[in-house]
Amino acid sequence: MSAYLIGIDGGGSKTDFLLCDLGLNEVARCYYGSSNPNDIGTVSAAELLTDGVNSLCASAGIEKSEVAAVFAGIAGATSRNNVAVLTEALRKALPGAKAAVLHDGINVLYGAFPDSDGVSVICGTGSSCFVKKGGEIFRIGGYGSLDLCGNGYEIGRAALAHALKTVDGREQEGVMEELLHKKFGNDFLRSLETMLELGKKQTASLAPLVFEAAERGDGSALAIIKTNVEYIVGLIDKAGEKFEGDYGVAIAGGIFKSALAEQMLKANVNRRAKITKNAADPVFGAAARAKQLLTESL
């Protein structure tokens, strides 16, 4: 009898694989690197999902035929034909299981609101906002390079852009540049090629420096964070149009490890939005979505 579920949470930094029973109790877990197909390629992402599922089942000592359903929420999955390719990879790896793939924002949504309506906002390497209302899922913003804000990548990119402007005097150096000098050296122009070659994950890894600078009173760093938080506020306010009264909003991602970002968000978002940090890891939301697949026709 099929007695297990697999939830997969894939972002720009890491991919979390969870095997659990039908009561959503953890049985086994493993981690891999980024599974965003737009970053590593669709074929590589499919191979990573297959490897992760195989490793998960092997570590738990179960047959793959015992898995009833699998859901993978993967950043970048909704671009091009990624959903179809990744779903097919999971079906081949787990031929007896119901399988589905969508954006990683679904994981936070189902983790916080498995049986009710609500809104999820992820602000990690990238950003996304999803609304669950009356059994339907709606997406707001976060359309890759065509709608790039509210995330660690954009915060890091803006910091580098500001630092380079200090070279010719268009901007004044501050605490943020002081911290960046420690990473790139005293001559930003000598490091220009290195900066231009940074990937999304590497650029996003600079965001903590911006938050540190902001907490030390750096005006430029504060302005960068404010711009990105305002973008997130706009997503949440737009999501509120789907609801008549108060609505729950679960936030997740590296940006909200900063108390400053969370405080700024709560101070500016509309009063009907009830902000909470997602208590459970998003991968448990993926498992909850996998469980729901058992009642659906695919």
Q: Write the CATH number of the domain with boundaries 4-103.
A: 3.30.420.40
Q: 39 pLDDT exceeds 90? A: no
CATH 2.40.50.140 assigned to 116-278 = no
Domain boundaries, the chain: 4-103, 116-278
pLDDT tens-digit profile of 279-296? 678 899 999 999 999 988
Predicted TM-score (pTM) of the model is: 0.80
pLDDT band for 1, please (50, 70, 90 cuts): low
Answer whether 104's CB lies under 8 Å from 83's CB.
no
pLDDT in the model for residue 291:
94
Neighbours of 245 (CB within 10 A): 6
pLDDT band for 298, please (50, 70, 90 cuts): low
pLDDT in the model for residue 279:
66
| Tokens 């000592």 -> residue | 61
**What span, in angstroms and rounded, lies between the C-alpha atoms of 246 and 240?**
8
pLDDT tens-digit profile of 235-248? 999 999 999 999 99
pLDDT in the model for residue 142:
79
User: What average pLDDT does the structure give for the chain?
Assistant: 92
